[in-house]
Chains A and B, each alone.
Chain A
Amino acid sequence: MKASRKNGDVWLIAGVVAVALLLFAVLWLLAERGTAVAVTVDGKPYATYPLSQNTEVKIAGVDGGSCTLVIADGQATVVAATCPDGICVRHRAVSRGGETIVCLPNRVVVTVVGAPAVDGEV
């Protein structure tokens, strides 16, 4: 009798934890995907490109440098840059809200935006 009651407890707790983890996974996979990338050059807004549209643009950085931004399959990458270190080129593709690629020599910052819920909170 007592053992069967305890069983109910275990199933209940396991069920709630499973629902929580599932919900977390679903939210992470679906909702956190960004909708666009915002590009700033030297701290000033440069342009915004939707992640849903495949494009390739050359972004004019400071001192005549440039970065080539490619958007494909909902992800953004920097494929080429006129800088000696190439850190931004080696950075993996970004797609989730808040992810960022930085090209310091050109002062170019590419940030994924449009993820719901992360901002606009109290």
Chain B
Amino acid sequence: MKRKTALYGLLVALAFIFSYIEVLVPIPVGIPGVKLGLANGVTLVTLYLLRPVDAAAIACLRILLAGFTFGSPVSMLYSLCGGLLSLLVMWLCRRSHRFSVVGVSVAGGVAHNVGQLLLAAALLSASVVWYAPVLLLTGTLTGALIGLLCRSLLPRLEKMR
């Protein structure tokens, strides 16, 4: 129990710091919403190490913390929409046993962008659909990168469980 509490705290802190890093160092591609998704990587690792409900709890805590510290209510809403849809899709993909960590991560990255795009379409206007092709492709790319990272991380982290 103590061990699990410590692991929980560690993962939340890590996700929080990753969110901060991505606010500090945005990817200069000129498209709003494109980022590497390091914090989402923590969610992915949690999904593999602990239960899905733990991953959801850590994702929500991270989003709340990051939102209150260096975000706004609107950015928090975007993060929640993307993060939770991403988690849901990654969980389903993992359960299907058809994909490796990389595939699950790609699905998560794409779902994250789709979630944010849907919210943007609801809040702003339907014309944000123009961003959809680009966001699908960047979601695939960043998801694959995070997936590769997690693939080499997971065997090392297994011991921490």
Contact = CB atoms under 8 A, between A and B. Distances in A.
A6 B93 CA distance: 13
B6 interface: no
Contacts of A13: 103, 106, 140, 144
Interface in B55-108: 93, 96-100, 102-103, 106-107
B61 to A, nearest CB: 29
A5 B125 contact: no
Interface in B92-146: 93, 96-100, 102-103, 106-107, 110, 124-125, 127-130, 132-134, 136-137, 139-140, 144
Interface in A4-21: 4-9, 12-13, 16-17, 19-21
Interface in A95-122: 116-118, 120-122
B136 A23 contact: yes
Given A12-B99, A27-B129, A117-B127, A20 B106 contact: no
A13 B93 CA distance: 13
What range describes how many residues of A lie at the interface?
20 to 34
Contacts of A24: 133
A21 B136 CA distance: 9
Nearest to B126: A117
A24 B137 CA distance: 11
A6 B100 contact: yes
B111 to A, nearest CB: 10
Most chain B beta carbons < 10 A, residue from A16, A17, A19: A16
Given A13-B144, A120-B125, A121-B127, A8 B136 contact: no
20 contacts: A2-B100, A5-B103, A6-B100, A8-B96, A8-B100, A8-B103, A13-B106, A16-B106, A16-B110, A17-B137, A17-B140, A20-B132, A20-B134, A27-B132, A31-B130, A117-B129, A120-B125, A120-B127, A121-B128, A122-B124
Interface of A: 2, 4-9, 12-13, 16-17, 19-21, 23-24, 27, 31, 116-118, 120-122
